[in-house]
Structures are given as structure tokens and as C-alpha cells.
């Protein structure tokens, strides 16, 4: 009884593993590359925005330091203390923004390399025209094999269940 189910599952697993159609693979890789490039462009915009924020914060810090120096020059202790609090606040904020910028730049460099790798793989696939084996990272085609395997297993389970039901029906009918 379970031999047919086991055979159906094994057949489904075998059927799920053939190399994907190169046209589908090419389309999926092209889509992933386009999305990757768009994400990299957005990340570049975010880096530029952060650089502008840092420039503004640096100006605020310099203004607070200048005010503190001026207040110290006229011996206005209250203004010196207020200017010092603002200088400290802007210096701390500037440090945080610089850390954020460093993280964004590292993330951008990583994403840029990944997109270039995807584009290289796509060009290699186009050059080969779907002939031969192509080493494609799982990130480039995230759902293709998993979806095919799931569909094949579902189909095998339905077939096995229908075979069992058919045998039970035949037993009841006396055939």
C-alpha cells in the first residue's frame, strides 16, 4: 500500500529537480536584477540624504561652538552653559548620523556587489543560451525550485490519496 505512495513521492522529488526552463530562469533573473538596481538606486539616495543631514548637523555644531566662544569672550556664563549643552547635543547627534552613514555605505556596497553578481549571472545565462550548467545563487531565483517541489509533492499526495480511495471503493463494490 505504501509502496505506491513512496514511489509517487520519489517520482515527485525526481520530477522536481530537473534544471529549470532557461527562459523562465532568465526572466526571473532579469526581474531580480531590475529590482536590485532599483533598490541600489534608493540606497544611494538614502546615503546622499544622510550626507546632507550630517552637513546640517555639522553646521549646527559649529554654530553652537562659535556661540560658546563668543559668550565666553564677553564672560556670559549662562550663555556659555546653554551653548555647551547645544554643542554636546549636536556632537552626539553627529556621531550617531556618522554611524548610520557608515552602515548605509556598507550595506550599499554589499547590495551593489550582489546586483553585479546577478547581472553577471544573467549575462552568462544569455551567453550560453540555456545550454550547459549555470551556477546560479539561490538568491537570484528564490522560489523556483521550492515551488516546483511543493507542487510535485502535492500532486503525488493527491494521486496517492485518490488511489487509496479507489481501492477502498472497489473493495466495497466487490471488485
121/35 same-domain check: yes
The answer to whether the CB of 144 falls within 8 A of the CB of 20 is yes
Angle between helices 22-73 and 144-173 (to 10 degrees): 130
pLDDT of the residue at 122: 77
Number of Cα atoms under 13 Å in the Cβ half of residue 108: 16
Least confident of 64-68, 108-112, 125-129, 139-143: 139-143
60/112 same-domain check: yes
SS3 144: helix
pLDDT by residue (tens digit) across 39-71?
A: 889 999 999 999 999 999 999 999 999 999 999
Say how many domains are in the chain: 2
SS3 content of the chain, % helix, strand, coil (to 5): 85, 0, 15
11/69 same-domain check: no
pLDDT band with cut points at 50, 70 and 90 for residue 162: low
- Predicted confidence (pLDDT) at residue 156 exceeds the cutoff of 70: no
Residue 76 structural domain: 21-140
14/25 same-domain check: no
Amino acid at each position: 500500500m505504501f509502496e505506491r505512495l513512496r514511489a509517487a513521492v520519489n517520482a515527485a522529488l525526481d520530477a522536481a529537480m530537473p534544471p529549470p526552463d532557461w527562459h523562465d530562469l532568465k526572466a526571473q533573473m532579469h526581474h531580480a536584477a531590475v529590482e536590485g538596481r532599483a533598490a541600489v538606486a534608493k540606497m544611494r539616495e538614502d546615503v546622499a540624504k544622510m550626507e546632507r543631514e550630517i552637513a546640517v548637523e555639522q553646521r549646527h555644531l559649529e554654530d553652537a561652538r562659535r556661540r560658546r566662544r563668543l559668550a565666553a569672550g564677553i564672560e556670559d556664563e549662562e550663555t556659555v552653559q546653554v551653548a555647551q549643552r547645544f554643542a554636546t547635543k549636536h556632537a552626539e547627534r553627529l556621531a550617531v548620523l556618522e554611524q548610520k552613514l557608515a552602515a548605509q555605505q556598507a550595506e550599499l556596497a554589499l547590495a551593489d556587489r550582489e546586483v553585479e553578481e546577478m547581472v553577471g549571472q544573467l549575462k552568462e545565462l544569455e551567453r550560453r543560451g540555456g545550454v550547459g550548467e549555470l551556477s546560479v545563487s539561490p538568491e537570484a531565483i528564490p522560489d523556483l525550485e521550492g515551488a516546483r517541489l511543493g507542487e510535485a509533492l502535492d500532486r503525488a499526495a493527491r494521486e496517492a490519496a485518490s488511489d487509496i480511495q479507489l481501492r477502498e471503493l472497489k473493495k466495497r463494490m466487490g471488485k
